[in-house]
């Protein structure tokens, strides 16, 4: 292409451009519902009559010189003059209806920003209606989803839901109430089914974080590869697999509230290190991002495995264990608080019957006595399951021995597991004896003379044995 040809073409472009600039403003002005021009300080320098009228200024001159938001409350023109960047298509809500708007920065010959121009492109927004309908529907869905999430995250249980008035249960609730006033990490220990989850909810509900979410992650239920994103979130494209969408992590969802880390013993080593960092520095990063986010959550962790032993075996980081274990609560197994059995059965039967008018079940005294003889390896959860099955099978509303006993595991599972079988005969026997004495005491609410009677030994003998085994009666 010759030099000549190029400049001719530029000449053509120049005139076209000149013509376009002249007509563009006029045609946009014609077609648009409103046009407004602001200076670099977001003060209105010009507004057309129709637009001014929409916002209650019968005379457009009265709007001149005002800050743009004084005239157009939701205007984002200030952002355009501040950033220098256009907003090519936006939706603006006004009290008089929805407008589709375009906002462009205005620059002088030296490319200095002098202001911005905004067009409200569609009045009735008819031509945009499919898009706007979608926008409105998504906004509504978002509000509804947020509400239901907030609902779901509100604590399910309070301290009243934790049934039991035995010495052990009362001491436990007292400890938990104090823990609710604190903000440090909390570790809940106890066999399966002892109510760790119930207690975690109750503690959250009684804490200053109660109005914020309680979010749970179950380490045992989520594949290791997904766990990090579950914790900290992930940016779009951070995964190579099918799930390329970004996701919000539970740390962020729980912001201001409580994060319940269930089955913490199953946390893989890589994540143990990352969790430790959040506990120490209160900071984390989403997967695929290097933006540091601040964390404001209270951690409640729970486990039914013996975490201290996992530490000894090198399966759980000692430093993380000590961080979590600063404040720890041990939930007693049901067999250590058998005096709560009647109260628990009553509450669970009422809960299981729900609102059904027919449902008012109770246990006969004999049936209750048989339940008190059982070992309850599955604790309150097992009790609940058994009562639930008994209700389904029973013909009458009074559950008797025959209704419950067949549902109990025929032989109580061995009280000592493989680990403990390795112990010496003496320590196994001492363990057995200690457990036997604790059970008897729990069954008698810590009353030594009754416990001695129950065991068929003398009261003095029992005192001696308790002292030797370092068991406090109460
Ligand atoms: N003190 C209690 N009062 C009333 N219900 C209880 C109590 N403890 C436990 N439950 C009931 O027993 C069941 C198991 O409780 P929960 O899920 O809290 O146990 P867990 O300690 O978390 O067990 P796991 O270690 O197996 O997860 C639930 O149905 C719960 O409602
Ligand atoms: Mg649990």
Helices (H), 206-258: 224-232, 250-253
Average pLDDT along the chain: 86
| Percent with pLDDT over 70 in the chain | 88
pLDDT of residue 71: 94
Q: 439 or 418: whose pLDDT is higher?
A: 439
Structural domain range at position 212: 159-330
The neighbourhood of ligand 2, an ion, using CB within 5 A, equals 197
Q: What is the pLDDT of residue 108?
A: 87
Structural domain contains residue 364: yes
- Apex 309 CA angle, 302 and 324, nearest 5: 40
β-pairing, 258-262 vs 214-218, is parallel
Residue-level pLDDT at 153: 67
Q: Are residues 217 and 296 in the same domain?
A: yes
Number of domains comprising the chain: 4
Q: What is the Rg, in whole angstroms, of the alpha carbon atoms belonging to the chain?
A: 35
Residue 255 placed within a domain: yes
Residue 127 lies in a domain: no
Q: Do 340 and 444 fall within a single domain? A: no
* Pair (182, 323) in one structural domain: yes
With pLDDT > 90 as the criterion, what percentage of the chain qualifies?
A: 52
Q: Which atom of ligand 1 is nearest to the CA of 169?
A: 1
The answer to whether residue 396 is domain-embedded is yes
Given 272, 300, 330, the domain boundary residue is 330
> Are 316 and 349 in a shared domain?
no
Instruction: Mark whether 427 and 381 lie in a shared domain.
Output: no
Give the whole-angstrom CA distance, residue 471 versus residue 12: 101
Both 295 and 362 in one domain: the answer is no
Q: State the pLDDT at residue 416.
A: 47
Determine the distance separating the centroid of ligand 2 and the alpha carbon of 54, expressed in angstroms.
59
Q: Is residue 474 part of a domain?
A: no
Structure tokens at 357: 């008018």
Q: Are residues 312 and 341 in the same domain?
A: no
**Site of tokens 């407008």:** 99
Is 135 domain-assigned?
no
Q: Are residues 346 and 436 in the same domain?
A: no
Query: Could you give phi then psi for residue 182, rounded to 5 degrees?
Result: -105, 170
Phi, psi torsion values for 295, nearest 5 degrees? -115, 125
The more confidently predicted of residues 176 and 443 is 176
Question: Distance between CA 260 and CA 213 in Å, rounded?
Answer: 10
Residue 274: what pLDDT? Answer: 94
Please report whether residue 141 resides in a domain.
Answer: no
Taking the centre of ligand 1 as the mean of its atom positions, its distance from the CA of residue 412, in whole angstroms, is 20
Beta strand pairing call for 398-399 and 87-94: unpaired
* 166 and 308 together in one domain: yes
Question: Taking a C-beta distance cutoff of 8 angstroms, is the pair 239, 184 a contact?
Answer: no
Indicate which residue's Cα is closest to atom 24 of ligand 1: 192
Residues 366 and 448 in one domain: no
Q: Which helix (H) or strand (E) holds 132?
A: helix 129-153
pLDDT of residue 421: 55
Across the range 18-43, mean pLDDT stands at 82
Asked if 269 contacts 317 with a C-beta cutoff of 8 angstroms, the reply is yes
Q: 48 C-alpha to center of ligand 1: Å? A: 68
Q: What is the pLDDT of residues 342-368, one digit of tens each?
A: 999 999 999 988 766 556 889 999 999
Q: Of 330, 355, 379, which one is at a domain's C-terminal end? A: 330
For the chain, the straight-line distance linking the first and the last C-alpha, in angstroms and rounded, comes to 102
Q: For residue 272, what is the domain's CATH number?
A: 3.40.50.300
Q: What residues are in contact with ligand 1 under a 6 Å CB criterion?
A: 162-164, 190, 192-198, 304, 380-381, 384
Round to whole Å and give the CA distance between 334 and 339: 9
In this structure, the answer to whether residues 286 and 352 fall within a common structural domain is: no
Pocket test for ligand 1, best of 197, 266, 348, 385 (most atoms within 8 A of CB): 197
Asked if the model's pLDDT at residue 1 lies above 50, the reply is: no
Q: Cα–Cα distance between 57 and 50 in angstroms, integer? A: 9
Same-domain pairing of 178 and 225: yes
Is position 1 within any domain?
A: no
- Report the CATH number that the domain containing residue 51 is assigned in CATH: 3.30.450.20
pLDDT at 39: 94
Q: Which atom of ligand 1 is nearest to the CA of 262?
A: 27
Q: Residue 181, Cβ neighbours under 10 Å: how many?
A: 10
- Chosen domain end from 358, 375, 407: 407
* CATH number (domain holding residue 348): 1.10.8.60
Which of the residue ranges 56-60, 217-221, 244-248, 382-386 would you say has the lowest mean pLDDT?
A: 244-248
């Amino acid at each position: 292409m010759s030099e000549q040809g190029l400049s001719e073409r530029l000449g053509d472009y120049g005139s076209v451009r000149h013509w376009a600039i002249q007509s563009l403003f006029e045609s946009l002005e014609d077609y648009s519902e409103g046009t407004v021009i602001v200076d670099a300080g977001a003060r209105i320098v010009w507004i057309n009559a129709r637009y001014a009228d929409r916002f209650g200024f019968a005379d457009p001159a009265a709007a001149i010189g005002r800050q743009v938001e004084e005239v157009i409350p939701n205007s984002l023109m200030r952002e355009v003059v501040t950033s220098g960047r256009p907003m090519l298509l936006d939706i603006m809500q006004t009290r008089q209806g929805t407008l589709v708007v375009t906002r462009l920065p205005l620059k002088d010959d030296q490319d200095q920003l002098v202001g911005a121009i905004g067009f409200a492109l569609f009045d009735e927004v008819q031509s945009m209606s499919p898009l706007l309908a979608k926008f409105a529907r998504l906004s509504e869905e978002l509000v509804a989803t947020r509400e239901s999430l907030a609902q779901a995250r509100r604590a399910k249980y309070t301290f009243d839901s934790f049934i039991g008035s035995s010495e052990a249960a009362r001491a436990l609730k007292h400890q938990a109430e104090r823990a609710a006033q604190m903000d440090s990490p909390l570790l809940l220990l106890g066999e399966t089914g002892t109510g760790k989850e119930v207690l975690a909810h109750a503690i959250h509900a009684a804490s200053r974080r109660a109005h914020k979410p309680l979010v749970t992650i179950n380490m045992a239920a989520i594949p290791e590869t997904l766990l990090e994103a579950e914790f900290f979130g992930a940016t779009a494209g951070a995964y190579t697999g099918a799930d390329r969408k970004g996701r919000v992590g539970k740390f962020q969802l729980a912001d201001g509230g409580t994060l319940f880390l269930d089955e913490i013993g199953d946390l893989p080593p890589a994540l143990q290190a990352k969790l430790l960092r959040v506990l120490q520095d209160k900071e984390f990063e989403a997967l695929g991002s290097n933006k540091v986010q601040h964390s404001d959550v209270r951690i409640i962790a729970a486990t039914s495995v013996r975490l201290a032993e996992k530490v000894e075996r090198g399966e759980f980081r000692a430093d993380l264990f000590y961080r979590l274990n600063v404040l720890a609560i041990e939930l007693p197994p049901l067999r250590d608080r058998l005096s709560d059995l009647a109260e628990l059965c009553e509450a669970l039967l009422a809960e299981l019957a729900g609102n059904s008018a027919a449902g008012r079940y109770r246990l006969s005294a004999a049936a209750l006595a048989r339940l008190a003889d059982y070992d309850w390896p599955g604790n309150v959860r097992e009790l609940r399951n058994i009562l639930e099955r008994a209700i389904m099978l029973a013909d009458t509303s009074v559950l008797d021995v025959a209704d419950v006993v067949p549902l109990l595991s025929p032989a109580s599972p061995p009280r000592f597991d493989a680990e403990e079988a390795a112990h010496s005969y003496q320590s196994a026997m001492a363990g057995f004896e200690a457990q036997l004495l604790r059970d008897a005491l729990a069954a008698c609410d810590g009353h030594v003379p009754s416990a001695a009677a129950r065991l068929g030994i003398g009261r003095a003998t029992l005192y001696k044995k308790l002292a030797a085994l370092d068991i406090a009666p109460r």
